[in-house]
């Protein structure tokens, strides 16, 4: 695996790979988003308890799921950044964190909107909502720590450590919040919520939901890759390979020697990658 | 198709505002992320073009100066 | 002064503790201020929600624990900050003993200097908040088991932010979400004692957190210090 992964430690190899992958994520992602939303909004049967309002599930559940999934992904990037000192993995943290935070926000936002007609309030201290709110705080902490450092690589390493500590903590936070919730469950509202979860979902609803989960993953992965490429470009914008990739003609009289060498290396990296 | 008319589809059995606002909010958030990424990319390209042009101008001026010096 | 014989880890551990206690005894206000802050915050609650003893007794566990969390955030920075400024931290990383040992010593000192005073004034806090007398012992126990978690997790946060000039607010942003489980189980234990149910379950969990945090934190602190000091 190392032989396979190693070329991607070089930013230009990752950049080229991402550039190739982005359309493969974005286009099927957008198609599936349209398919799942039309399916979910127009063709799936209404819920026998919640009527049409349950259709919020097709944005709420995917965003909530991937909010957690992207945090784990960020922590894995953090481990790679710390153990192998790979620059691209450090940048990946910076690329993933805002997308994950936005997903967390979407799940909270849609959860609140869903809560209004179903439970009568915008916010309930439901275990799931509370855990999601704490996840948002964790994302914000990682991003704040990353940008607080003047030396960017130090910031990346600090953020990696925090992401890893956070990922160890997430299951503990989850179970404690659930436990706390059952302990404090006094209002009928929260009981109603837990009862609603009980009936298993009908297949006519499950299929569009699964498609929407996949669609959200593809779209957000494309976003992460776009952001990652921006971050790589920002650091490497003056390097010949970047200028070449962007189709910008650059002066070679001065740094001809070094420029040529870079190009050769680039080609070699590309060959390895293929 | 679960709905008889566009009217019913928009109305969502009375929950229209909740359903549509949550979908709109999701699209808005993800769209903003995508817009921000492309916008940043275009800024990067613009700056790089400017810098490359400037470097080329400097080099050309330097070469011209050298030639002029040689002539003299 | 070069020593020919290898330095023993235990000796370093003892000396760091002695040195830090001596340093702290010269700046007593650093230790007193968080304690006074804790007292004031606890005093503010009856003024805010009204002095009815039934309300106070019901919110007492939460209030005391939230106040303890916040006041511990105030004093955390001095765990590594002064050592970082005068270069002692760099020397500590260069000692010929595992860094984890020195870090553990710093955590122990911090606990001795900040948590023990809180444990001493806990009865006063319980009295002010009208906590039913049968829960006092459990409150004290939760603080006894929970404050090492605060010191250990706090050390991770401080290690990550010590090189930043404005680390204070950031430190709370990083740490408070991670400490939520502690708050939940600590207040649950005290509430169980108030109601008269056995608090053994949550207490055992807090004990587990304590063991987990003081065994794992030194490794994370070491990594964090390596990032901050370079």
B35-39, C13-17, C85-89, C196-200, range with greatest mean pLDDT: B35-39
Q: What pLDDT shows up at residue A77?
A: 92
Task: Tell me the C-alpha distance between C187 and C202, whole Å.
Answer: 9
Q: What pLDDT shows up at residue A74?
A: 93
Residues C2-8, mean pLDDT to the nearest whole number: 62
pLDDT at C165 over 80: no
pLDDT in tens, A201-217: 677 778 888 888 899 99
Q: Which of A51-55, A219-223, B55-59, C55-59 has the lowest mean pLDDT?
A: A51-55
DSSP assignments along A110-138, one per residue: HHHHHHHHHHSSS----HHHHHHHHHHHH
More confident site: A149 or A273: A149
Among A residues 253-272, those touching chain B with beta carbons less than 8 Å apart:
253-254
Q: What pLDDT shows up at residue A127?
A: 76
Test the C interface: residue of A172, A178, A186 with most C CBs within 10 Å: A172
CATH topology (fold) of A10-236: 1.20.120
Q: What pLDDT shows up at residue A184?
A: 61
What is the phi/psi pair of residue A51, to 5°? 65, -140
Query: Where exactly does CATH 1.20.120 map onto chain A?
Result: 10-236
pLDDT in tens, A105-136: 999 998 888 888 877 777 877 777 888 898 99
pLDDT at C104 over 70: yes
pLDDT at A267 over 60: no
Contacts of B45 in chain A (CB under 8 A): 246, 248
pLDDT at B10 over 80: no
To the nearest whole angstrom, how far is the Cα of A216 from the nearest Cα of chain B?
Answer: 10
Q: A44 and chain B: CB distance < 8 Å anywhere?
A: yes
Token pair for A242? 């970047």
pLDDT at C230 over 90: no
pLDDT at A5 over 60: yes
A–B contact: 3+ Cβ pairs < 8 A: yes
Contact B15/A37, CB-based, under 8 Å? no
Residue in B with minimal Cα distance to A43: B1
- How many CA within 13 A on the CB side of residue B17? 4
CA distance to A180, A183, A184, C176, per residue, from A187 (Å): 14, 11, 9, 27
To the nearest whole angstrom, how far is the Cα of C50 from the nearest Cα of chain A?
Answer: 23
Q: What pLDDT shows up at residue B8?
A: 76
Q: What pLDDT shows up at residue A274?
A: 32
Taking Cα atoms as reference points, which of A171, A173, A169, A162 lies closest to residue A77? A162
Residue in A with minimal Cα distance to C180: A173
Q: Are A163 and A75 in contact (CB under 8 A)?
A: yes
**Alpha-helical segments (H) within A39-84:** 57-84
To the nearest whole angstrom, how far is the Cα of B29 from the nearest Cα of chain A?
Answer: 7
Query: Residue A262's pLDDT band (boundaries 50, 70, 90)?
Result: very low
Q: What pLDDT shows up at residue C131?
A: 86
ipTM of this complex > 0.85? no
Contact A165/C220, CB-based, under 8 Å? yes
Contacts of C224 in chain A (CB under 8 A): 158, 161
Beta bridge partners of A47: A51
Q: Collect all residues with Cβ–Cβ distance below 8 Å to A241 and sequence separation of at least 6.
A: A12, A262, A263, A266
To the nearest whole angstrom, how far is the Cα of A52 from the nearest Cα of chain B?
Answer: 6
Task: Tell me the C-alpha distance between B68 and B61, whole Å.
Answer: 10
Q: B54 and chain A: CB distance < 8 Å anywhere?
A: no
Contacts of B3 in chain A (CB under 8 A): 42
pLDDT at A266 over 80: no
pLDDT at C3 over 60: no
- How many CA within 13 A on the CB side of residue B37? 25
**Alpha-helical segments (H) within chain C:** 9-26, 28-49, 53-76, 81-86, 88-94, 99-110, 116-128, 136-161, 167-178, 180-195, 200-228
To the nearest whole angstrom, how far is the Cα of B72 from the nearest Cα of chain A?
Answer: 23
Token pair for C68? 């303890």
Contact A144/C170, CB-based, under 8 Å? yes
Q: Is C22 exposed, middle or buried (0-12, 13-18, 19+ CB in 10 A)?
A: exposed
Residues A239-268, mean pLDDT to the nearest whole number: 57
Contact C161/A183, CB-based, under 8 Å? no
Q: What pLDDT shows up at residue A4?
A: 66
Which residue among A37, A51, A226 sits closest to B13, beta carbon to beta carbon?
A: A51
pLDDT in tens, A53-112: 778 888 888 898 899 899 999 999 999 988 888 888 889 999 999 999 999 999 999 888
More confident site: B50 or A181: B50
Q: What pLDDT shows up at residue C120?
A: 92
Q: What pLDDT shows up at residue A104?
A: 93
pLDDT at B1 over 80: no
């Amino acid at each position: 695996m190392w032989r396979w992964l190693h070329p991607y430690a070089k930013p230009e190899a990752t950049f080229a790979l991402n550039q190739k992958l982005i359309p493969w994520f974005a286009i099927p992602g957008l198609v599936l988003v349209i398919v799942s939303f039309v399916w979910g909004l127009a063709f799936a049967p209404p819920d026998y308890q919640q009527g049409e309002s349950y259709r919020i599930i097709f944005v709420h559940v995917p965003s909530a799921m991937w909010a957690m999934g992207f945090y784990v992904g960020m922590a894995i990037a953090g481990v790679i950044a710390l153990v192998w000192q790979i620059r691209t993995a450090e940048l990946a943290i910076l690329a993933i964190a805002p997308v994950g935070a936005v997903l967390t926000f979407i799940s909270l936002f849609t959860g609140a909107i869903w809560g209004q007609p179903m439970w009568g309030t915008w916010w309930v201290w439901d275990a799931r909502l509370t855990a999601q709110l704490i996840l948002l705080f964790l994302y914000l902490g990682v991003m704040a720590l990353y940008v607080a450092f003047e030396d960017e690589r130090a910031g990346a390493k600090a953020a990696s450590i925090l992401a890893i500590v956070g990922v160890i903590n997430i299951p503990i936070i989850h179970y404690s919040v659930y436990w706390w919730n059952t302990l404090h469950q006094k209002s009928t509202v929260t009981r109603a919520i837990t009862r609603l979860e009980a009936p298993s979902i009908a297949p006519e609803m499950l299929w569009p939901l699964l498609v929407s989960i996949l669609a959200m993953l593809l779209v957000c992965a494309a976003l992460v890759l776009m952001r990652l490429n921006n971050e790589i470009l920002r650091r490497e914008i003056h390097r010949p390979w970047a200028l070449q990739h962007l189709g910008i003609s650059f002066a070679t009289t001065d740094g001809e020697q070094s420029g040529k060498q870079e190009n050769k290396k680039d080609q070699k990296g590309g060959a390895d990658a293929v | 198709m679960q709905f008889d008319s566009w009217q019913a589809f928009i109305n969502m059995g009375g929950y229209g505002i909740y359903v549509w606002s949550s979908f709109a909010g999701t699209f808005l958030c993800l769209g903003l992320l995508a817009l921000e990424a492309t916008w940043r990319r275009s800024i990067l390209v613009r700056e790089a073009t400017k810098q490359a042009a400037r470097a080329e101008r400097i080099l050309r001026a330097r070469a011209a100066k050298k030639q002029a010096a040689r002539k003299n | 002064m070069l020593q020919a014989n290898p330095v023993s880890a235990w000796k370093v551990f003892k000396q760091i503790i002695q040195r830090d206690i001596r340093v702290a005894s010269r700046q007593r206000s650093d230790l007193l201020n968080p304690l006074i802050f804790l007292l004031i915050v606890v005093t503010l609650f009856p003024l805010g929600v009204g002095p009815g003893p039934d309300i106070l007794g019901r919110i007492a566990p939460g209030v005391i624990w939230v106040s303890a969390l916040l006041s511990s955030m105030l004093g955390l920075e001095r765990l590594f900050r002064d050592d970082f400024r005068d270069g002692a931290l760099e020397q500590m990383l260069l000692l010929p003993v595992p860094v984890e040992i020195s870090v553990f010593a710093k955590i122990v000192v911090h606990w001795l200097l900040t948590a023990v005073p809180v444990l001493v004034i806990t009865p006063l806090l319980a009295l002010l908040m009208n906590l039913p007398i049968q829960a006092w012992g459990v409150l004290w126990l939760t603080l006894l088991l929970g404050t090492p978690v605060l010191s250990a997790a706090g050390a991770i946060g401080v290690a990550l932010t010590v090189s930043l000039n404005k680390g204070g607010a950031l430190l709370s942003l990083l740490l408070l979400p991670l400490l939520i489980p502690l708050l939940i189980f600590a207040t649950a234990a005290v509430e169980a004692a108030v109601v008269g149910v056995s608090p053994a379950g949550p207490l055992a969990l807090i004990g587990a957190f304590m063991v987990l945090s003081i065994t794992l934190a030194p490794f994370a602190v070491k990594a964090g210090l390596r990032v901050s000091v370079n």
